Amino acid sequence: MTTFKNEFSWSKSRDDIFHKCQRQYYYHYYASWGGWQRNADERTRKIYVLKKLTNQHLWMGDKVHQAVRLVLEAYRKEMPIMPEDQMVERMLDNMRVDFRNSRDGLHWKNPQTCGLYEHEYQSELSDEEWKKIAKHVEDCIRNFYHSSVFEEIKAIPVDRWLAVEELANFHLSELKVYVSIDFAFRRDDGVTIYDWKSGSSVNYDQDLQMACYGWYAWQKWNVDPKSIRLVEVNLNNMDTVTYDVRGVNLEKIQKRIFNSVQDMQFLLEDIGNNQGSEARFALTEDDRFCNFCNFRKVCPKWKEEPISSEAEPTHNAQPKAKTDSIKTSS
């Protein structure tokens, strides 16, 4: 039987969680590890199930991404594209099943089924609000079918398509870095990457995202990182924003990523084996993050579980000292 190792890697989302709350980061990347196994202990299993919870915003985005992926994959394989009404109905059916499973707590028996934060933590969402979520997904899917972006994509020969919904990785020195790519194609003078948005969130970190795309494109597709263009498409209102890597200081971003890795690894007890213990990861003092945290059911700050000596809140600030090198357990 293959045994998986909890290998250290880096991603923008990992960095985001780390900076919100170190303990949340620990639960997400360490304490949940192995929770999928039949013989996992009760707490590991519980943390794993909580990690897999989604929420209304991620859930919406996921359904819209799924629909766009199905359309593009069919087009790429020269198969019939599912008619718009049928695709909408399929996704809404999907959401109904997810909703029922989540409300009935099925994710505790099978963590691969959808569990919604709103059900797990009894967030009050009215029927009207749930309907709005479904309508939002429907609108985004319909917008895509009627968009000029879809027409433009269909006009690109498929042998120039490079990626449709891929979770990919590249290496910065020894460090494995993950990026997710919604759609990419090769131009004569570089690569264009599309990023589907379905909510109103604003990307404040384009430079970091662009740099990662640039490095990935260089390693995977052998193109100059500076030739990358990113098109963010908001499927809610079909606004598009285009960025390019030329103005991005790649050296500065690389330093920032390595600093982030050092901060994360400083808290580990065994960097080589990527292992740490709960008590070393501080609880955030900012309750705004707690209000949307999947792990409230196990976090001592919320006192729903007795505080074990190993899990004493430390409330320390960000790590001060740093290791002097980037190490991975690969």
For ligand SF4, the binding residues (CB under 6 A) are 21, 23-24, 283-284, 289-290, 293, 295-296, 299, 301-302
| Cβ at position 23, least distance to ligand SF4 in Å | 4
| Cβ at position 296, least distance to ligand SF4 in Å | 5
Indicate the residue among 130 and 289 with the shorter CB distance to ligand SF4. 289
Which residues does 30 contact at the CB level (< 8 Å), separation at least 6? 6, 275, 276
Pair of tokens at residue 29? 């990347």
DSSP of 87-109? HHHHHHHHHHHHHHHHHTTGGGT
Helices (H), 124-205: 127-145, 148-154
Cβ-count burial of 192 within 10 angstroms (0-12 exposed, 13-18 middle, 19+ buried)? Answer: buried
| Cβ at position 295, least distance to ligand SF4 in Å | 5
**309 in Cβ contact with 62 (< 8 Å):** no
Kindly provide the residue ranges of all beta strands, DSSP E only, lying in 116-253, ordered along the sequence. 161-172, 175-187, 190-197, 228-234, 239-244
Indicate the residue among 24 and 102 with the shorter CB distance to ligand SF4. 24
Indicate the residue among 32 and 143 with the shorter CB distance to ligand SF4. 32
Q: One-letter amino acid identity for 2?
A: T
Residue with tokens 């990358």: 228
| Cβ at position 53, least distance to ligand SF4 in Å | 12
Kindly provide the residue ranges of all beta strands, DSSP E only, lying in 40-120, ordered along the sequence. none
**279 in Cβ contact with 307 (< 8 Å):** no
Indicate the residue among 24 and 234 with the shorter CB distance to ligand SF4. 24
Indicate the residue among 193 and 283 with the shorter CB distance to ligand SF4. 283
Which residues does 86 contact at the CB level (< 8 Å), separation at least 6? none
Instruction: Classify 116 as helix, strand or coil.
Output: strand
| Cβ at position 192, least distance to ligand SF4 in Å | 37
Indicate the residue among 21 and 181 with the shorter CB distance to ligand SF4. 21
| Cβ at position 289, least distance to ligand SF4 in Å | 4
Rounded Cα distance, 101 and 183, in Å: 31
| Cβ at position 319, least distance to ligand SF4 in Å | 16
Helices and strands (H, E) in the chain, number of each type: 11, 5
| Cβ at position 291, least distance to ligand SF4 in Å | 8
Rounded Cα distance, 27 and 51, in Å: 8
Indicate the residue among 193 and 298 with the shorter CB distance to ligand SF4. 298
Pair of tokens at residue 131? 């309907």
Q: How far is CA 278 from CA 48, 234, 267, 289, 329, in A?
A: 15, 39, 10, 18, 19
Q: Residue 204 gets which letter from DSSP?
A: S
Indicate the residue among 92 and 279 with the shorter CB distance to ligand SF4. 279
| Cβ at position 294, least distance to ligand SF4 in Å | 8
Indicate the residue among 231 and 267 with the shorter CB distance to ligand SF4. 267
